[in-house]
Structure 1
Amino acid sequence: MGKRWFKHGKWPRWMVWLHSYTIISFVLLMLTGVALYAPGVHSMLIPYLMILYYVHIGLGIIFGITLLVPLLVRLPIRKLIRRLDWLFPLVFGAMVVATGVLLWLVTVFPTTWRSRAFTWHGWLSYVLSAWLIIHAVYKAFAYQPNKEGINAQVDPSRRMFLRWLGTGIAGAAVLTVIDPVGTLRRSFASLSTEQKNDGNGADFGAYYTVTNGYPTLDLARYRLIVNGLVANPVTLKWSDVMNLAAQQEKTDFHCVTGWSVANVRWHGMSMQTLVDLVKPSRQAKYVHFYSFDGVYTESLSLPEALDPTVLLAYRLNGQPLRQEQGFPLRLVVPKMYGYKSIKWVNRIEFADKPLVGYWEARGYPNEAYVGRGI
């Protein structure tokens, strides 16, 4: 078997290529992941995010397959490897892939798992990135570790690879399902007065804006304009908004970039309340939403807008919205990805034709139901 695998003490060429590809694919995974998540980078790459999303998933699938190669092929006999050179990629690579699967399959797993997986997916990727840098440095300087140390050379076996791979998968399960670190963090946080008084306590993955910073508007100057194909167009002051019938919804919130928040409590008025107030005509088939940031727009069909879970919210988890969360008023569409939940709403228009929203004009689908992908 050894003669078929390598010659003159070297790994076969295809395995060298596979090793190089695995490193390159992980670097690309990190770059596309940062582009999808980091607000600053995310905003600059808006026209390409849909492509990057699918590229990221594709790279992740192939990266996961490469981790399984040692289990699917016969390894060279008496070809030694350094223990950490395989332990780190297999254990942490398996954890990155496992948490990535939880993020990808939105509707298959509980939201609480998915929200934890998002956090660990990032941190585990950073750990693996750090190891790759260390690996590259000592390779470049031809560093030879101690033959008896933690990075001593070993003769690989499938059982060894299976044990390391299983450790990674089990570790990902512990972190996302049992969440021991999160439990300890919450225990310590409960002792902190500062944490208790920290806004509305919503643990959102990131806050996005398509303009330079978050727009501000004093409540005394705020006006909600509701017009279009309606019998009774109105302009509501903030006191008028607060006097309208309100309701509360407890739902999960999913961002198209991967993170989720479970059991978010929104408080505000339903679209049905506005419909009863302005009385749309029979020609009105769509509802357009405008933000006072001057850029963001969104559109829902009238049946979508009248879904009982859809709210124009002004409170989150019992507290007023913060500026970055859409203060003073935002749309919440729980059954769709977060980009449909436009923030800083100051105008609503009933129309006979759909409006091409900000993200839709850049390639995102108009119907963004969770679980159907982007």
Structure 2
Amino acid sequence: MKKWFPHGKWSKYYVWLHHYSIVSFLALMLTGLVLYIPFFHVRLISYLSFFYDAHIFLGIVFFLSLFSPIVKKLPKVNRKRKIDWFMPIFLGTAIVLTGFSLWKVNWFPSKIREAAFPWHGNLSYLLGIWFILHGFFKATGTQYPQTFVTKKMDSERRQFLQWGVSGLVIGAITMTPFSKLFTTSGKVSSNSKPGVHEFPEYFTVTDNYPNVLLDKYRLVVDGLVTTKQSMTFEQLKSLPITKQIKNFQCVTGWSVSDVEWEGIHIRELVSLVKPTSEATFITFYSADGAYTESLSLKEAMESDVLLAFKMDQQPLRVEQGYPIRLVVPRMYGYKSIKWVNRVEFASTRIQGYWEQRGYPSEATF
């Protein structure tokens, strides 16, 4: 009776590869969930940079390990079930390709990244389910159903490459906007309306959303200015309004393309309060009492930086930053602070909420 693994060094190599693939994939899933799920964000903020780097590193090594047998001389005594080779190589390659598009933000258009994000997760879940079933069959000694895909075969480089290329093709297909027809792009709120984008996550660092009453809301604009202001929502909306369509990119990988924002450009506040010559930075405060962010005056005066009160022609919902949020399209989403209730002109840059926990102040991508 032929064995699954060859004797000697080949046996040790394939046993190691088998164990490593499972362990590394579990580590990938764990780090990926930490990056994606807001519950973990709040509790592991100080370590998110580590988890991000670890996720990228594990993904690269996982991909290389999938194809490591290609560089070795494959013996004819390595009969193994076809599906045991196919599933990790086919799905793993597609997962790595979609993940690569989320990692190298500047290499791929926003629409591709937007389509790739849900499939990166979906394909990972599928491979995770496969590993669980595979482990169950192995642990219980359950026999596979005898079919074409479960028969044993001698591994060949040509077969590895075919499966890898097919995984690349599937991964590429999932990165097209067409693939969004088969997924939901994110959490759907009962308050959402047709034509309004839904983000994959609505993040809060306090585990709840601030209760902002519009009739009591005031936007305080102070600091190193000639004329301090305390503006009602209606007074703010009476300023010249800017509309724009921009992509939104989160540091955790997901993106949403062609979001329509409507709001007040920072230059309108500058004209109103007349900052002093010492004012070279602007600090933004959130009504949640915890979140802060800072931009240089030069950054804030970019043509697409807004204090927005509408998204996709609809008033912001509370989870989107109601009634006012900052929008900085060329920077990662953590710079676009929500529930803004104070804008302070200052001579120094403060360390914002995320910067205090290891994220860069220069959040361009």
TM range (shorter): over 0.9
3-state SS in 1 of match to 2:55? helix
Mapped pair 1:30 → 2:29: yes
Query: Distance in 2 between the 1:353 and 1:17 partners?
Result: 54
Task: Report the RMSD for the aligned CA atoms in angstroms.
Answer: 1.9
3-state SS in 1 of match to 2:149? coil
| Aligned pairs for 1:122-133 within 5 A | 122-133=121-132
| Aligned pairs for 1:41-52 within 5 A | 41-52=40-51
- 2:67 aligns with 68
3-state SS in 1 of match to 2:209? coil
Mapped pair 1:7 → 2:29: no
Mapped pair 1:350 → 2:345: yes
3-state SS in 2 of match to 1:315? strand
Query: Distance in 1 between the 2:288 and 2:71 partners?
Result: 54
| Aligned pairs for 1:127-276 within 5 A | 127-177=126-176, 179-180=178-179, 182-183=180-181, 198=193, 201-276=196-271
Percent of pairs with identical residues: 45
The aligned amino acid for 1:256 is V
Query: Distance in 2 between the 1:302 and 1:277 partners?
Result: 15
Q: Which moved more, 1:104-113 or 1:145-154?
A: 145-154
Query: Distance in 2 between the 1:282 and 1:148 partners?
Result: 77
The aligned amino acid for 1:334 is P
The aligned amino acid for 1:50 is S
The aligned amino acid for 2:197 is A
CA contact (8 A) 2:137 2:144 kept: no
Query: Distance in 2 between the 1:23 and 1:101 partners?
Result: 20
Query: Distance in 1 between the 2:28 and 2:266 partners?
Result: 40
Task: Spell out, residue by residue over 1:278-328, the C-alpha distance to the aligned partner (whole angstroms, 9 max, x if none).
Answer: 000000011000001000000011100111110000000111111100000
- Relative to the length of structure 2, the TM-score reads 0.94
The aligned amino acid for 2:312 is N
Task: Spell out, residue by residue over 1:317-344, the C-alpha distance to the aligned partner (whole angstroms, 9 max, x if none).
Answer: 1111111000000000111100000000
Structure 1 pair 211/195, CA: closer, same or farther in 2 (3 Å)?
Answer: closer
3-state SS in 2 of match to 1:114? helix
CA contact (8 A) 2:226 2:274 kept: yes
Query: Distance in 1 between the 2:114 and 2:183 partners?
Result: 15
Q: Which moved more, 1:198-207 or 1:297-306?
A: 198-207
- 2:95 aligns with 96
- Quote how far apart the aligned CAs of 1:203 are: 2.5
CA contact (8 A) 2:331 2:364 kept: yes
Mapped pair 1:301 → 2:292: no
- Quote how far apart the aligned CAs of 1:144 are: 2.8
CA contact (8 A) 2:111 2:177 kept: no
- 1:330 aligns with 325
- Quote how far apart the aligned CAs of 1:83 are: 1.3
CA contact (8 A) 2:94 2:170 kept: yes
- 1:79 aligns with 78
- Quote how far apart the aligned CAs of 1:218 are: 1.3
Query: Distance in 2 between the 1:147 and 1:74 partners?
Result: 28
Q: Which moved more, 1:75-84 or 1:55-64?
A: 75-84
CA contact (8 A) 2:81 2:149 kept: no
The aligned amino acid for 2:62 is F
Query: Distance in 2 between the 1:185 and 1:207 partners?
Result: 18
Q: Which runs of 5+ in 2 are unaligned?
A: none
- Quote how far apart the aligned CAs of 1:227 are: 0.3
- 1:190 aligns with none
Structure 1 pair 185/82, CA: closer, same or farther in 2 (3 Å)?
Answer: closer
The aligned amino acid for 1:284 is A
Query: Distance in 2 between the 1:284 and 1:257 partners?
Result: 32
CA contact (8 A) 1:286 1:352 kept: yes
Q: Which runs of 5+ in 1 are unaligned?
A: 187-193
Q: Which moved more, 1:266-275 or 1:136-145?
A: 136-145
Query: Distance in 2 between the 1:83 and 1:144 partners?
Result: 14
Task: Spell out, residue by residue over 1:80-116, the C-alpha distance to the aligned partner (whole angstroms, 9 max, x if none).
Answer: 1111111111111111001000101101111100011
The aligned amino acid for 1:26 is F
- 2:307 aligns with 312
- Quote how far apart the aligned CAs of 1:157 are: 1.0
3-state SS in 2 of match to 1:12? helix
Query: Distance in 2 between the 1:178 and 1:233 partners?
Result: 47
The aligned amino acid for 2:241 is A
The aligned amino acid for 1:356 is Q
Task: Spell out, residue by residue over 1:248-285, the C-alpha distance to the aligned partner (whole angstroms, 9 max, x if none).
Answer: 12111100011001111110000000000000000001
- 1:191 aligns with none
Query: Distance in 1 between the 2:48 and 2:147 partners?
Result: 48
- Quote how far apart the aligned CAs of 1:153 are: 0.9
- Relative to the length of structure 1, the TM-score reads 0.92
CA contact (8 A) 1:200 1:319 kept: no
